[in-house]
Amino acid sequence: MLIKCPECELQVSDKAVVCPHCGFVINHKQLRKVNVASKRRRLPNGFGQITELKNKNLRNPFRAYVTVGKDSQGRCIQRPLKPQTYFPTYNEAYAALIEYNKNPYDLDRDLTVKQLYEKWIDTYFKTLKSKSGTRTITSAWRYCSTIYDMRAKDVRARHIKGCMDNGTVTDKNGVKHASANTKEKIKSMFNLMFDYALEFELVDKNYARTFKLSDEVVNEAEEAKKPHIDFTDEEIQTLWNHVDDLQYVDIVLFQCYSGWRPQEIGLLELKNVDLENGFITGGMKTPAGIDRLVPIHPKIKAIVERNYTLAQEIGSDYLFNCTDTHTHRSSYKMTYDKYRHRFDDICQALELNPEHRAHDPRVQFITMAKRYGVDEYAVKYMVGHQIKDVTEAIYTKRKPEWLQTEIRKIK
């Protein structure tokens, strides 16, 4: 007759003295007769291994190993049991192995990033109190497909940064790059995941914590979380009053009458500025925003021409440049961070609303467009917003001249 072993819960004969699977003593009376204590039974294949460190005065001489796989010759690959490897008695080491085998976890140092992620979320998601935390992690994870099959121990800071800067997600709307807010989530995810890997000695170092997010990403993420406000008519007039005597005011006005994102302004290349026909091609972030065609509003034509000429004179490939702090050509590039600081200085110098931020001129463009009756789809085309109407997005072919007609409605 078969019964369950009280320890490992596997089936054994009711006449057995000890469990053949785990060595648990079942019949104490018979134990005295066979004297099983004189020799420990061999542990089952794949169960693990316990070795005793002899000839040493150790408090914990029994060392426990777990089986994590087999090599090319079919021999078991053993790894030290974690988080505790050494025990004072054989029975305690054995009890730890039983506990491990009830719910084994992967201690293979060659596991991939994807395998590590699956092990980690199995534990981490149980600590979360809401589903929003789960969605945050799974959303960030989607941008990291390029390193799914890498060994976790081979991941370095550059690989994590690559996921943040170059990772994409493809959905029904096309290819999408990570926003500043998503980059923060990706960084946080790797921080926690590799903390877990470090605890179980799957990696030697958590490279996710060896670098910080750039100021540009942090600032952009912070601004994205705050509400944007448009400019008053008086503030717009103040900007025009100082377009020639306060540096970079012209770029703020350019943004107000074109709707570019702050980070897009510094990426506008001269080769994509068509002064003759009055268009600029550029954009980033979303499929609708990349390489979009934006007409040059008559009010900012002189601003574009002036900066175009300046860029040629200093040998820059970009329309807008920073020339107030650097003289070397490679330092002229207008970054989001540089623009944000200069925007803040302008607001302070002209006593504009201190709550204004570098995204507000883009809001101003959309606000003015709606005020003057610019076609809804024309606005979306120019600012790079997704058009969900299938007829308009796919079947309606708009000519560039139509965009020019619409943008000139703004006074």
Tell whether 146 and 286 lie within a shared domain: no
If one compares 30 and 230, the residue with the highest pLDDT of the two is 230
pLDDT of residue 242: 95
DSSP class per residue in 32-97: HHHTGGGSPPPPPTTT-EEEE--SS--S--EEEEEEEEE-TTSPEEEEE-SS--EESSHHHHHHHH
Tell whether 396 and 288 lie within a shared domain: yes
Mean pLDDT calculated for residue range 33-45:
61
Tell whether 295 and 245 lie within a shared domain: yes
CATH assignment at residue 184: 1.10.150.130
Determine contact, residues 99/7, Cβ cutoff 8 Å: no
End-to-end CA distance of the chain: 95
Closest Cα to residue 393, out of 383, 380, 403?
380
Tell whether 3 and 134 lie within a shared domain: no
What digits encode the pLDDT tens for the residues 360-378?
A: 999 999 999 999 999 998 8
Tell whether 326 and 400 lie within a shared domain: yes
Confidence of residue 332 (pLDDT cuts 50, 70, 90): confident
Residue 178 domain-assigned (yes or no):
yes
The amino acid present at 121, given as its one-letter code, is I
pLDDT at 382 over 50: yes
Confidence of residue 105 (pLDDT cuts 50, 70, 90): low
Confidence of residue 190 (pLDDT cuts 50, 70, 90): very high
CATH assignment at residue 387: 1.10.443.10
Mean pLDDT calculated for residue range 100-116:
76
Distances in Å between the Cα of 347 and the Cα atoms of 185, 220, 307, 323, 352 are 31, 18, 21, 20, 5
The whole-angstrom separation of Cα 185 and Cα 191 is: 10
Tell whether 249 and 361 lie within a shared domain: yes
- How many CB atoms within 10 Å of residue 33? 9
Confidence of residue 34 (pLDDT cuts 50, 70, 90): very low
Q: Whole-structure pTM over 0.85, yes or no?
A: no
Full residue range of the structural domain in which residue 251 is found: 233-407
If one compares 343 and 181, the residue with the highest pLDDT of the two is 343
